[in-house]
Amino acid sequence: MEISFTRFRVYSECPWKYKLMFVDGKKVPLTPASSLGLSLHRALESFHRSRVNELDKLLDCYEERWIGGGYADEQVKKEHFDKGIKILEKYFKQEQERRTQIEGIEREFIYPLGRHTVRGMIDRMDKHPDGGLEIIDYKTSLDFDEKSPVDRTLQLRFYALGVRESLGVKPSWLTIHYLAAGKREREPYDDSREDELKAAIERAADRIENGDFKPDTAFCPSCDFRRTCTHSTARS
């Protein structure tokens, strides 16, 4: 089977949630936060692909690639649109100080793992003057410390492994760029746990293939399906 980071993460949170989303096809509705996040990702992709380094171009890309769904009314939509402009203005200012070269935008990787295929899409990869590769993931949440450090780096380690396996290059740096806060968390890539991660991905893919969707209720309080799921322990 083919496994992406999203599928791996959802299965690791709760196998039943995986079944609801990827077997039964239930959709997670857009929220203002997720909708704005998608719009910002789309705007940045178009902006960097254009290679036009002007703020007006970035804001044009934002307007063109804006997603209007997920907002309760026009007022809320307008508030979030304006919030997005402020985030992008801050981003553009920071970009002017960049000393790295962009190597990839929405860069896809794919590699075989046992009987399975691992696929992923990296927000951005930069090359440093010393040749080192930096993997960057944009986060649009306003909450800077919303997850534990392990959760925060799991996605980047999944991507670093993907780059190593598909391009044969070991990344030097892993970075989370919190767009709303205008902050970056960067750390050197420690590849000592690659085998452990590979084994975890392969194990998850094996279990999915075997139809093992036993619910894990530890995640219920923050699950998108907590009000409707038959196994939920957090309905109220």
Q: What residues make contact with ligand SF4 under the rule CB under 6 A?
A: 14, 16-17, 20, 215, 217, 219-220, 223, 225-226, 229, 231-232
Q: Considering beta carbons, is residue 160 or 220 the nearer one to ligand SF4?
A: 220
Q: Considering beta carbons, is residue 184 or 214 the nearer one to ligand SF4?
A: 214
Q: Minimum Å distance from CB 195 to ligand SF4? A: 29
Instruction: Please tell me the distance from the alpha carbon of residue 2 to that of residue 59, in angstroms, as a whole number.
Output: 36
Q: Minimum Å distance from CB 209 to ligand SF4? A: 19
Given the structure tokens 């290059």, which residue do they identify?
169
Q: Considering beta carbons, is residue 171 or 215 the nearer one to ligand SF4?
A: 215
Q: Minimum Å distance from CB 10 to ligand SF4? A: 9
* 32 and 230 Cβ atoms separated by less than 8 Å: no
Per-residue CA distances from 134 to 121, 147, 148, 175, 186 (Å)? 14, 22, 21, 7, 9
Q: Considering beta carbons, is residue 22 or 111 the nearer one to ligand SF4?
A: 22
Q: Minimum Å distance from CB 154 to ligand SF4? A: 18
Q: Considering beta carbons, is residue 16 or 71 the nearer one to ligand SF4?
A: 16
Classify residue 236 by burial, with Cβ atoms within 10 Å: 0-12, 13-18, 19+: exposed
Largest CA distance in the chain: 54
Q: Minimum Å distance from CB 42 to ligand SF4? A: 28
Within the chain, strands assigned E span 2-3, 101-113, 116-127, 133-139, 173-178, 183-188
